[in-house]
Chain A
Amino acid sequence: MTTQKGGRAMDFHFTEEQLLLRKMVRDFAEKEILPLVGRMEKGWFPREILHKMASFGLMGMTVPEKYGGAGLDFTSYILAIHEISKVSATIGVILSVHSSVGTNPILYFGNEAQKGKYLPKLASGEYLGAFCLTEADAGSDAKNLKTKAVRKRDSYVINGSKMFVTNGGEADTYIVFTRTEDGSITAFIVEKNMPGFRVGKEEKKMGLHGSKTVQLHFENLHVPAENRLGKEGEGLKIAMANLDAGRIGIAAQALGIAEGAYGLSLQYAKNRWQFGRPVHEFQGVGFKLADIATRIEASKLLVYRASHLRSRGLDCKKEASMAKLFASQTAVDTAIAAMQIFGGNGYTEDYPLERYFRDAKITQIYEGTSEIQKMVISNQFLR
């Protein structure tokens, strides 16, 4: 069916290829990730799982084939994060950061030499990527960053610290945002073996225990000039350009967390008998599940509408922010409600719910807090 303007009408179907990919990732998650979630909770970084994912082409999904990637569309990548996060939000965020903000800046803003040097390794999973923007005084106010980069002949000397770096310490390449001498923001591709690069404190977090989050310190870090990404002063543009994709990725992670928690609580409600019947037969429980299921459905539609626009190269700023805002709220509310359905059992480590509860909250905070998303959305109304 076509509209008067000749465009396609709303199509709520995924393609054959996308459905096959989703099935492949779902099976992979159940078989290769699920058995190891307990280990990750104890702080084990899942290097082996990432290698297996790489062998399935999952570490370079949207990187073009000529650079060693799978050359898939953006929606396929979002489907993968969604499916993975149903089982493990930790793997979901490691993948999302590696791809959306660790690899994409090089893909879209790197020169041929940089693309040739780094993309094949990132896409194959030989390298893990990370992204360093946040500092102690520059969170929501990212432009307030103070890390300095001073040009010295054919390198830059970088001094400063970055906070909350996902994959920090484990990653091989880092997109680092600095302030160059002219006061503008400039991005660099930093490798962890460059002299002056120091991994600092590892954060102890409420959830996502298998994901390493660290502080980084750059102490007269020497970076070759050819590792500057884009021109001096283009750093802000690079950071902003990747935000939409990052937000849709986190929205998909949140959606996965919500669906995972919901699925577990639905199972429990069908099997737990009290007062002579399965507890889902009580409206107090059944209606709660209905509300959750509806919110998840709405989140799904927001996430995939945003990814659909993005894969067609269309502006999706508002849609990406709405998806992230809504899906992350859904994840938190679902985890709270799902744990309620599990009763006392859900509060113990014997059941997986408490991990979903602890993981859900961060989706409202990182890659732009819900408050920032509301600012983005409301600014769109003013246009």
Chain B
Amino acid sequence: MDFRLNEEHQMIRKMVRDFAVKEVAPTAAERDENERFDRSIFDKMAELGLTGIPWPEQYGGIGSDFLAYCIAVEELSRVCASTGVTLSAHTSLASWPLFKFGTEEQKQKYLTPLARGEKIGAYGLTEPGSGSDAGSMVTTARREGDHYVLNGSKIFITNGGVADIYIVFALTDPSSKHHGTSAFIIEKIFPGFSTGKKEKKMGIRSSTTTEIIFEDCIVPEENLLGEEGQGFKIAMMTLDGGRNGIAAQAVGIAQGALDAAVAYAKERKQFGKPIAANQGISFKLADMATAVEAARLLTYQAAWLESNGLPYGKESAMSKLFAGDTAMKVTTEAVQIFGGYGYTKDYPVERFMRDAKITQIYEGTQEIQRLVISRMLIRD
């Protein structure tokens, strides 16, 4: 086992870190306050090749790997978790299923503009009655000659409204549940597609989260992704990788909070010495740093497995579970270390704490991660 990042990975880390500090961090607090999505940040990421990291150059990507992508999400999330998830949903949830299941035509038509960052991608699975129980969706796709007609709505769509391309799951065979679901590539210009309510969230507020609505939405048959009945499998396999992207986001959030807490603890003097001189604080920092390190290693391991064509479902679920819990703990302690100041919006740690919570919920709650992991343990 070699625990060092190679040159390419180190270079990507440096490149994304510099970009994050210069172009993303300065507006993070204001964008959070105003729930403002900034398209220009996404466009700048595209210019740097960040919107298609794992995909081959023939599809507009930079031909790197999933570890490089995780590093990018982590570095972005250190300063702005909203930017981290914007990229993660775009790459893991929208681009990945196209890469894995798309026909050559579909890849050229849809993956390439996503990889180049000309278009933004999103993923529509969740409905009001089907969250963890994704198989209980009720959105339907009725076959009619050379097209499908979709009816229903999806909620909590990251990049909703700003995305041009949506990977959406609907029932082509309502009698069959898991084997009656199919995946579709939806363009926002398709007749009958509209964006609904924008959610007002506690955190990741500069990531847009909306409802999407299908009212007799006409989808050409060539936009079926994979085969009819394969949708649920595609959805679940997509989430296997997606959750590692969220793990990377959580690691970034935790690292950002840890860095801020260490800097403050060295600076802030009470009782005649920096507060870091007290074991009550320094031991807390030690615990936080250890947890972040472990979360990072779990995340990189899962990414490495995926990049090397090895099974990664269990490791990916473990990384999301551990990193999400770590982000929640570390950010809560970071606010504590900042004392009263940490509770105000003058300092970024309360934002990190609000952002951290969602990493325990989306792309499979912690409870679902435990289901995934335990099933694999029991099966083996």
Binding site for B on A (CB under 8 A): 134, 137, 139-141, 144, 163-164, 203-207, 274-275, 282, 284-285, 332, 336, 339-340, 343-344, 346-350, 354, 357-358, 361-362, 364-366, 369-371, 374-375
Contacts and interface: CB of A to CB of B under 8 A. Distances in A.
B343 A206 contact: yes
Contacts of B132: 274-275, 343
Given A282-B367, A336-B328, A347-B203, A369 B133 contact: no
B190 interface: no
B156 to A, nearest CB: 5
B335 A361 contact: yes
B350 interface: yes
Contact of B270 (A141, A205, A274): A141
Interface string B367-380: 10010000000000
A339 B357 contact: yes
A370 B361 CA distance: 28
Contacts of A358: 202, 354
Contacts of B271: 140-141, 144
Interface in B238-294: 269-271, 275, 278, 280-281
B352 to A, nearest CB: 11
Contacts of A371: 278, 280-281, 336
Contact of A134 (B340, B346, B353, B367): B340
A323 to B, nearest CB: 18
B281 A205 contact: no
Nearest to A285: B367
Given A343-B131, A349-B200, A332 B332 contact: yes
A347 B155 CA distance: 13
Contacts of B136: 274-275
B357 A139 contact: no
A344 B362 contact: yes
A349 B199 CA distance: 8
Contacts of A336: 328, 332, 357, 360
Nearest to B202: A354
Contacts of A332: 332
A205 B343 contact: yes
A340 B202 contact: no
Contact of A340 (B133, B354, B360): B360
Interface residues of B, number: 43
A204 B361 contact: no
A361 B334 CA distance: 11
A204 B347 CA distance: 10
Contacts of B103: none
B366 interface: yes
A139 B201 contact: no
Interface of B: 126, 130-133, 136, 155-156, 199-203, 269-271, 275, 278, 280-281, 328, 332, 335-336, 339-340, 342-346, 350, 353-354, 357-358, 360-362, 365-367, 370
24 contacts: A134-B340, A139-B340, A140-B270, A140-B275, A204-B344, A206-B353, A274-B133, A275-B136, A282-B367, A339-B357, A340-B361, A340-B366, A344-B131, A347-B358, A348-B199, A348-B202, A349-B200, A350-B199, A354-B201, A361-B332, A365-B339, A366-B340, A369-B339, A371-B336
Contacts of B354: 206, 357-358
Contacts of A207: 343
Contacts of A362: 343
Chain A to chain B: the 10 pairs with minimum beta-carbon distance, closest first: A141-B270, A274-B133, A354-B202, A206-B350, A349-B200, A204-B345, A284-B367, A371-B280, A275-B133, A141-B271
Given A343-B132, A365-B339, A371-B281, A203 B199 contact: no
A207 B342 CA distance: 12
A203 B343 CA distance: 9
A370 B357 CA distance: 22
B341 to A, nearest CB: 8
A339 B332 CA distance: 15
Contacts of A344: 126, 131, 155-156, 361-362
Given A340-B365, A343-B361, A349-B202, 18 more contacts: A140-B270, A206-B335, A206-B343, A206-B344, A206-B354, A274-B132, A275-B132, A339-B357, A339-B361, A343-B365, A347-B357, A349-B201, A350-B200, A361-B332, A362-B343, A365-B335, A365-B342, A369-B339
B84 to A, nearest CB: 16
Given A274-B136, A284-B370, A140 B332 contact: no
Contacts of A354: 201-202
Contacts of B131: 274, 343-344
Contact of B345 (A139, A206, A343, A350): A206
Contacts of B203: 347
A313 to B, nearest CB: 32
Nearest to B362: A344
A348 B200 contact: yes
B343 A365 contact: yes
A274 B332 CA distance: 30
Contacts of B275: 140
Nearest to A275: B133
A215 to B, nearest CB: 11
Contacts of B367: 282, 284-285, 340
Contacts of B357: 336, 339, 347, 357
B127 to A, nearest CB: 11
Contact of A357 (B199, B202, B269, B281): B202
Which of B199, B328, B340, B358 is packed against the most chain A CB atoms within 10 Å? B340
A163 B340 contact: yes
A345 B18 CA distance: 35
Contacts of B350: 205-206, 361
Contacts of B344: 203-206
A327 to B, nearest CB: 15
B360 to A, nearest CB: 6
Nearest to A343: B131
Contacts of B340: 134, 139, 163-164, 365-366
